[in-house]
Amino acid sequence: MTPPAAVIVLAAGEGTRMKSATPKVLHQVCGRSLVGHVVTTAESIDAGQVVVVLGHQRERVAAHLAESFPRVVTTVQAEQNGTGHAVRVTLDQLADQGVTWDSGPVVVVSGDSPLLSEQTLELLIAEHESAQAAVTVLSAELPDPTGYGRIVRDSAGLVQGIVEHKDATAEQLAIREVNSGMYVFDAGFLRAAIAGLSTDNSQGEEYLTDLVAVARADGRPVAALAAPDPDDTLGINNRAQLAHVEAIMRHRINHHWMITGVTMRDPATTYIDADVSLEPDCVLEPGVALRGVTVVAAGAVVGPDSTLIDTTVGAEARVNRVHSESAVIGPGATVGPFTYLRPAADLGPDSKAGAFVEIKNAVVGQDAKVPHLTYVGDAEIGSGANIGASSVFVNYDGVSKSRTVVGREARVGSDTMLVAPVVVGPGAYTAAGSVIVEDVPAGALAIARGRQRNIEGWVAANRAGTPAAEAAADAEGQE
């Protein structure tokens, strides 16, 4: 397959049926925008240029593309006068910038059809080349062809033209082979023919689909490839179709990872975004959502019931009922159950963050442990240190945030308040229930709490007749 000279992505339409303030092509499927999926596929086949035609809300779409797909070129179709018009103004605008393609395939696809796979696109281009066609259409046999353009074939079975649903005769409406809106054109043919499109149809638009009949009239070969998987051709016009397409893509992504060696206990409750990467032999328990650019290494076990966003999980780590965003979980680390990792939480190798622990912007050293009921914010915990249950890294004075440093092998007692900025030296201890406001030298024990005083007989004197007084009297009798 010759990589195409260009892939033109049509994305100027409004997407009225989405009923959304967000332009249609910026809606997401499996964590990536619709147009982003199409562009990713176009880039994967090494197209010389990927051109996205913008129209409605073009500033927003352009900003998204510039940020996430910087190699993409954009053109503007200010008024949406049809798919043919979109391609025509695109070729004109590029020509003004000195860009023209005289030979080789030029692909045209829709920005709202994110299921088009690399393999199908490659097959379409290969078919185009072997047929030496002027235009090759990706078609699909649909049980319900309503709304789609129909592929009209002649008595020899050759593609004669495409008729839009709104322009079709009753006989043509019965055709179930539809136009997917994805094509390969010979660059020279496209450039020559696009200028001649008319608007003589029910919608008064320049139809790109008319180029099929133009090619036939010129005596140029026209080819059609039936999509091996008709799902590849599905376009999105409303939120129900958005959900339907997402379900298919999710299934494809899950299948892909299982085939590469990932164990998924329950694919039906496993949600993996398009940009996630997984190593073979990681295990995903039921109820796992891996979002953004999350990475999970070999041997790690994630779940059940965990959501990881832009999180890196090291080899052999155990992540159980965790919500994590922009965090790093080191190899062999144990996290959960019920742990909240926030941005820049960085858990070292074999470290532990246990139940009801929240960690933000903090490095937890190798083998260090934060086992229970603790908030760690803006901190550095040295290797092998242990943070006792119910401790708080008091990082916020109401105005600004300060850092806490706990040295290696330190032992922070249960219910310690570490009031930042503060340093607990290597190997130091803090007594349970302490409020630490001054630095603790290495190896010292810091105690910062009131001394205990026992008032003998207080219950008998002040709470006579209560069960407590009775229990106390019993205990006295047994002495």
Positions that interact with Ca ion (CB under 5 A): 235
The values of phi and psi at residue 383, to 5°, are -60, 140
Q: Is 179 in the site for ligand UD1 (CB under 6 A)?
A: yes
Helix H segments across 45-183? Answer: 58-68, 83-96, 118-131, 170-173
CB of 41 or CB of 307, closer to Ca ion: 41
Phi-psi region of 132 (alpha: psi -120 to 50; beta: other; left: phi over 0): left
| Among 228, 231, 180, residue whose Cα is nearest residue 208 | 180
Q: Are 451 and 445 in contact (CB under 8 A)?
A: no
With CB under 6 A as the contact rule, the residue among 149, 314, 336, 426 that binds ligand UD1 is 149
User: What does 81 bind: ligand UD1, Ca ion, none (CB cut-off 5 to 8 Å by kind)?
Assistant: ligand UD1
13 binds ligand UD1 (CB under 6 A): yes
In the complex, the smallest distance separating the C-beta of residue 266 from Ca ion, rounded to whole angstroms, is 34
Is 298:282 a contact under the CB 8 Å cutoff?
yes
Q: Which of the stretches 175-183, 277-285, 294-302, 413-421 binds ligand UD1 when contact is defined by CB under 6 A? A: 175-183
Residues 6+ apart with CB under 8 A from 281: 261, 262, 263, 298, 299
* Residue 53 binds ligand UD1 (CB under 6 A): yes
Our finding on whether 41 is near ligand UD1 (CB under 6 A) is no
| Residue closer to ligand UD1, measured from CB, 81 or 334 | 81
Distance of alpha carbon 214 from alpha carbon 197, whole angstroms? 9
Q: Record the tokens describing residue 475, joined without a space.
A: 């205990």
Q: Is 10 in the site for ligand UD1 (CB under 6 A)?
A: yes
Cα 350 to Cα 324, 334, 368, 387, 429, distances in angstroms: 18, 7, 8, 15, 22
Taking alpha carbons only, the member of 295, 325, 293 closest to residue 307 is: 325
Q: Within 117-238, where are the H helices? A: 118-131, 170-173, 187-194, 210-217
Interaction between residue 28 and ligand UD1 (CB under 6 A): no
CB-nearest residue to ligand UD1: 149
Residue 181 vs 365, nearer CB to ligand UD1: 181
Nearer to ligand UD1, 77 or 334 (CB): 77
Q: Tell which positions 219-258 bind ligand UD1, by CB under 6 A.
A: 235
Taking CB under 6 A as the criterion, the residue among 11, 72, 317, 362 binding ligand UD1 is 11
Pair of tokens at residue 193 = 């023919």
- Active-site positions read 372
**Rule CB under 6 A: is residue 36 a binding residue for ligand UD1?**
no
Q: Which stretch binds ligand UD1 (CB under 6 A): 94-102, 176-184, 309-317, 358-366?
A: 176-184
Amino acid at 72: V
For ligand UD1, the binding residue among 23, 36, 114, 181 (CB under 6 A) is: 181
Q: What is the DSSP letter of 89?
A: H
Q: Which stretch binds ligand UD1 (CB under 6 A): 7-15, 291-299, 380-388, 417-425?
A: 7-15
CB of 138 to ligand UD1, least distance (A): 10
The answer to whether residues 45 and 172 touch, using CB atoms and an 8 Å cutoff, is no
- Pick between residue 199 and residue 269 the one whose CB is nearest to ligand UD1: 199
Minimum CB separation from ligand UD1 for residue 40, in Å? Answer: 16
Considering only residues 8, 50, 65, 86, which one is a binding residue for ligand UD1 as defined by CB under 6 A?
Answer: 86
Contact mark string toward ligand UD1, 106..125, x via CB under 6 A: ----xxx-------------
Phi/psi at 301 (5° precision)? -120, 120
Report the DSSP pairing between strands 177-186 and 105-110: antiparallel
Strands 334-335 and 318-319, bridge-based pairing: parallel
Question: Which of the listed partners (ligand UD1, Ca ion, none) does 388 bind, with a CB threshold of 5 to 8 Å by partner kind?
Answer: none
Nearer to ligand UD1, 207 or 393 (CB): 207
Interface ranges with ligand UD1 (CB under 6 A):
10-13, 53, 55, 77, 80-83, 85-86, 110-112, 148-149, 162, 164, 178-181, 207-209, 235
